[in-house]
Amino acid sequence: MEEVDDFLSKLDEKAKRKIIYNIRKSQVVNDSDLFKKLNSSVWEFRTLHNKIKYRLFAFWDKTDKTETVVISTHGMEKKTGKVPQKEIDKTERIMKKYFDAKRNNNDTNGN
């Protein structure tokens, strides 16, 4: 999503490359150091680079019977031990808008 692009564009090239590498790696390896479930619907992509913890928040769209899509909503540099609740809440708000828009689009198209 756009906020992820904005977040990544502000990082130095090496940090950005490592985050993208970890996202691709998490597609084939189930590693909780890379991709961790925060609650029933919110996940985080985790990257440590030069002692800085980067997080990209995400949710899953499993509405297609053959493919699951992981949508990353936004990112942050994590400075505390615990993920701030406001970041989880933000992901949940974006997720609700996403599925509402998807449902409305399907209703409009007769699906």
Residue 81 has pLDDT above 60, yes or no: yes
Residue 111 has pLDDT above 60, yes or no: no
The C-alpha angle with vertex 25 and arms to 9 and 72, in degrees rounded to 5, equals 45
- 22: which 2 tokens? 């970890």
Residue-level pLDDT at 110 = 62
Q: Which domain holds residue 75?
A: 2-108
Q: Do 103 and 70 form a contact (C-beta atoms < 8 A)?
A: no
Question: Distance between CA 46 and CA 66 in Å, rounded?
Answer: 26
Average pLDDT score, the chain: 92
Mean pLDDT calculated for residue range 59-68: 90
- The DSSP element (H or E) to which 87 belongs, if any, is helix 85-108
Residue 48 has pLDDT above 60, yes or no: yes
Number of domains in the chain: 1
Q: What are the φ and ψ backbone dihedral angles of 97, each rounded to 5 degrees? A: -60, -45
Q: Is the pTM of this model over 0.85?
A: yes
Residue 45 has pLDDT above 60, yes or no: yes
Residue 61 has pLDDT above 70, yes or no: yes
Residue type, 34: L
Q: How confident is the model at residue 51 (pLDDT cuts 50, 70, 90)?
A: very high
